[in-house]
Structures are given as structure tokens and as C-alpha cells.
Amino acid sequence: MKLEAIDYQSPNAAEEFVTSLRETGFGVLKNHPIRKELVSSIYDNWQSFYNSADKENYRYNVGTQDGYFPPDVSETAKGHSKKDIKEYFHYYPWGQCPKEHKDELAQYYSEANTLAEELLKWVEQYTPTDIAQHYSQSLSSMIENSDQTLLRVLHYPPLKGDEELGAIRAGAHEDINLLTILPSANEPGLQVKAKDGSWMDVPCDFGTLIVNIGDMLQEASAGYFPSTSHRVINPEGADKTKSRISLPLFLHPKPEVVLSKRHTAGSYLHERLVELGVI
């Protein structure tokens, strides 16, 4: 199995994309509308943010989960004992954000959400009827005007050699949300678990866009769309001294949206955040 980039502008893009999601949990797009200059400018500006002590002034709010999460509070992936080697910032339009970075993130958030609504329409269009009957409302309407959709600016610092034995940049995990939209990072390392249990590198040519299924879409589609494990491995050799920045947008429905008989988006998120140890 190999992940091939699908041309967003090709006439078969929607069908090929949804087939890839169904078979691997991932879809990779090229020639998509997210602007490369905007992404690389965010990477540069946030590298400066992480290099500065100012980040401590934006420590996250426990109740609302917006702001800066330093390395010592960073997540421990479900079922793991070691913390990930990363720090990150959670941006919501209503949340805290350094003012010099706000316009750019707001712009990216809005453009990526527009594309996300289209991708959810593709998913819906190629969902078999017997599965689609489980959707309580259209997938794209679940995220429309949602203030829960989260843009995470991640920084994986250079490795210093004193990291906890066995700790990696991001331990194997599944995302909680509906879909995740992720421009290729500025360094490799992201891997996805194939059906045979082996780890595959996700293509990381700058300018491609990686989309993966989260647990909420798996829940809403009664397992038809698989939420797939992925991880970020540590760099080796000369790459150890390099930072890695990435920018996932996690599409979260409004809390009252019904995902399944068992869960609303709100009840599901709460359960998972407790497991992650961040609330």
C-alpha cells in the first residue's frame, strides 16, 4: 500500500480521495487551494514565537483549552506512558493569540475551513446510502459556524540527547475529531499505520495537503470510515538539530451535534480529553 497524492483539480478527485480515506484513513492532495506562501509564512513566524520567552505569557486556559501548551504538559498519547516531545499552541478565533500572529492565523483558519467543508461534501457524496442514513445531519453542516474547530501550531524542538528513553515526537494515536487537514510539515517524520500493522511514511513534499479521518467520523459512519493510527518519529543524524513545525486543523462539530446513539460531539470530546490527561 502506498499513499499517492491526488490532484484536487482532476475530474475524479472526489471519488479517488474518498476511496483513499476509506482504504487507508488518509488522503493526500496536490494542486489544492491552500496557499503555500501563507503556510510557509506561518511556519517562519511561529518558529520565532517558539524561540522567544514571550510564549510563557500565553499559557493555556485549562477550562477552554486555548493558548500555549509547554513541553512539560504536552499530551501523552492514549495507552502510552511517555509524554510526546513537543509543545503547541491552540488557536481558536475567540481564544488568546499574540496580536502579531492573529491576522495570519485567522486568514488560514478561514481558508482551510472553506476547503474542509468541500472535502466533507465529497465524503458525504461517496458514502454508501446504508451508511449515510446514520448521519444525523450533513457532515459539512456539522462544522458550519462551529467554534470548536481547532488550529494547532505544533513545534517539535531539536533533540538534545536528554529526552526520556523511548519518547518520540508524537506517539501513535488517532485524532478525536471528524477530519484533520494538515499541510505537509517543514520536516519529515509523519507515519501512518497500514492495515498489515507496518508503518508507512506519509508523503511530505511541501505543498501537499494531508487529510485524515478522526474518531468522530468513524463513530458517525458506524466504522465505515476508519480513524487510522499515526505518529511522528524522531529525526536521526544531522536532522536531530532541526525543529519541525506543523499545522493541523482539527474539524470539530458543534457540541450539540449527534454523532451516534451513544454520543454527541460534546460528550465524545469530553471523554477523550479526560483520557489524554489535559483536563
Ligand X SMILES: O=C(O)CCC(=O)C(=O)O
For CA atoms 53, 57, 59, 65, the dihedral sign is negative
Are 27 and 6 a contacting pair, CB within 8 Å? Answer: yes
Q: Which of residues 39-68 bind ligand X (CB under 6 A)?
A: none
- Contacts with ligand X by CB under 6 A: the residue count is 11
Q: C-beta of 210: minimal distance to ligand X in Å? A: 8
Cell digits for 98? 499574540
Q: C-beta of 54: minimal distance to Fe ion in Å? A: 27
- Report the chain's C-alpha Rg in angstroms: 18
What is the distance of C-alpha 236 from the center of its chain? 24
Q: Is 154 in the site for ligand X (CB under 6 A)?
A: yes
Which is closer to Fe ion, CB of 16 or CB of 84?
84
Q: Is 175 in the site for ligand X (CB under 6 A)?
A: yes
List 232, 249, 257, 269, residue binding ligand X (CB under 6 A):
232
Q: C-beta of 77: minimal distance to Fe ion in Å? A: 9
- Contacts with Fe ion by CB under 5 A: the residue count is 1
Q: C-beta of 154: minimal distance to ligand X in Å? A: 5
Which is closer to ligand X, CB of 150 or CB of 220?
150
Cell digits for 32? 489544492
The 67-106 site mask, x for binding Fe ion (CB under 5 A), equals: ----------------------------------------
Q: For residue 158, give the nearest of 68, 60, 59, 71 by alpha carbon.
A: 71
CB nearest ligand X: which residue? 246
Q: Which of residues 237-256 bind ligand X (CB under 6 A)?
A: 246, 248
List 28, 190, 220, 265, residue binding ligand X (CB under 6 A):
190
Q: Measured between alpha carbons, how far is 59 from 216 in angstroms, rounded to an integer? A: 28
Question: CB under 8 Å to 249, separation ≥6 — which residues?
Answer: 109, 112, 113, 116, 149, 150, 151, 152, 180, 181, 182
Partner in contact with 190, chosen from Fe ion, ligand X, none, beta carbon below 5 to 8 Å by kind: ligand X
Q: For residue 42, give the nearest of 143, 179, 160, 185 by alpha carbon.
A: 185
Q: Is 175 in the site for Fe ion (CB under 5 A)?
A: yes
Helix axis angle, 99-125 relative to 13-24, nearest 10°? Answer: 90
Distances (CA, A) of 107 to 2, 11, 126, 134: 33, 28, 29, 33
Q: Is 27 in the site for ligand X (CB under 6 A)?
A: no
Q: Is 230 in the site for ligand X (CB under 6 A)?
A: yes
Which is closer to Fe ion, CB of 141 or CB of 246?
246
Site of interaction with ligand X (CB under 6 A):
152, 154, 170, 175, 182, 185, 190, 230, 232, 246, 248
